[in-house]
Amino acid sequence: MATEGRTAPRIREDLEITSVQHEDGNVWLIRDDLGLIEKPVVVRTEALAVLRLLDGNHSVEDIQEELVRSRGGVFVSRAEIEAFLRELDARGVLDTAGFRRARRKFIHEYRRLAVRTPFLAGRSYPADKRDLERYLDGLLLSAGTQAAGPGDVCGLAAPHIEIENGRGVYARAYGALRGVSPRRVVLLGTGHTLAGGYFSVSAKDFETPLGIVGTDREAVERLRLAGGEGVADSDIAHRREHSLEFQLIFLQRLLGPTFSLVPVLCGSFRPGLASAARPSELPGAAGFVGELRDMVGDWGDSVLCIAGVDFSHIGPKFGDSRDARALRPEAARHDGALIDAACRADVEGLWRESRRVADRYNVCGFSSLACLLEIMPEAEGVSLGHEFWHEEETRSAVSFAAIVFHRKPDSGHRGGSR
């Protein structure tokens, strides 16, 4: 990788870099949700200065000069820097021609698969079928048998945090689906790694230790065509995504093999918060949302709409200067306003509240929750719980909640209030 006299390679923009405690002090882990980097790359704090300069604007000579200056004149050779860059390139950290070739091949091979295999079995939940059944049964039993409210269930917002971290709210969410028997489930999740569109759909069937759920390929194709450029040209974002996989194992245990799936990942709506009032007003999203709303209306009582939603992400891990415990009261008030708007099925009220705070609390499930409110029939929601999970080592926290939606008697299909 020759670099003399030209700009050094840029670090990939789709990587997650986090600090962790180590016996020798803090180190930094570079993770790749795409999957090309199978194990996190570990770098020490002193290497961060190099990573920050890999922005496509600095040469190796610039980096050398900056490092010598920042270290009070301690010499750093060009050879050391180039060796470090070669190591990063070999590990897939840099946005080079070699990485782009590997990425295209990786995506092409994934696109050809007919089944999306489970990524989190054995990591976040048991990989053995019987062990998973026992695990889910025990968790659901903890919810009790209380009814969530009157009326026919037509929708659910459930967490997508790690199941053990949110088990009580998961139990109440999916406990509310007892007795429900849809023929189709529209499953909306947060596309944490989604790039190149507002939405990603997959025609693959979805497998877990509990079996394979068939995808409604006709519905997926209709959405892809209606969404146009608003839909990502690849379904690679589904490969490792947990926001759908966690919902699926609960659905399989409760519903059995009798339903088909419409799997949708939603990207960030943050760029459109100021210019739109709901998902269907986003340029490039209206066709997709309108088609999905029409399909849900045509399917009537036979469809259930579910969104995998987490709420506030606060603390230094998510870019805040303050500890999550200091931010928690204001984040909880924001979450409460979003939950109240959702229970009213008020998608524009939900949007206004997010716009009011400029999404400063990083509600990663906002887009999927907003879409859920757009596509459901006229409904009213019941809050089933709201909690925070704290990650003490990073002084950060994530909040999550559950809301069950009941179809209003004699309601037509409106897709949220206007």
Token pair recorded at residue 266: 């939603």
**pLDDT confidence of residue 151:** 57
With a cut of 60, say whether residue 416 has pLDDT above it. no
Cα diameter, the chain: 77
**pLDDT confidence of residue 148:** 47
DSSP state for residue 93 in the 8-state scheme: -
- What's the full length of the chain, in residues? 418
Nearby residues of 411 by Cβ (< 8 Å), 6 or more positions away: 377, 378, 379
**pLDDT confidence of residue 195:** 83
**pLDDT confidence of residue 418:** 38
**pLDDT confidence of residue 134:** 98
Residue of higher predicted confidence among 251 and 416:
251
The mean of the pLDDT values for the chain is: 92
Q: How far is it, in rounded angstroms, from Cα 267 to Cα 270?
A: 9
Residue range 163-198, pLDDT digits in tens: 999 999 999 999 999 889 999 999 999 999 898 899
**pLDDT confidence of residue 22:** 67
With a cut of 70, say whether residue 23 has pLDDT above it. no
List the domains of the chain with CATH numbers. 15-108 (no CATH), 123-407 (3.40.830.10)
Token pair recorded at residue 367: 């887009």
**pLDDT confidence of residue 364:** 93
Residue range 144-166, pLDDT digits in tens: 755 444 459 999 999 999 999 99
**pLDDT confidence of residue 417:** 43
Amino acid identity of residue 112, one-letter, is R
**pLDDT confidence of residue 187:** 98
* The overall pTM is greater than 0.75: yes
Q: Are residues 164 and 284 in contact, defined by beta-carbon separation less than 8 angstroms?
A: no
Token pair recorded at residue 187: 């499953």
Q: How far is it, in rounded angstroms, from Cα 284 to Cα 69?
A: 47
> pLDDT-based confidence at 5, cuts 50/70/90?
low
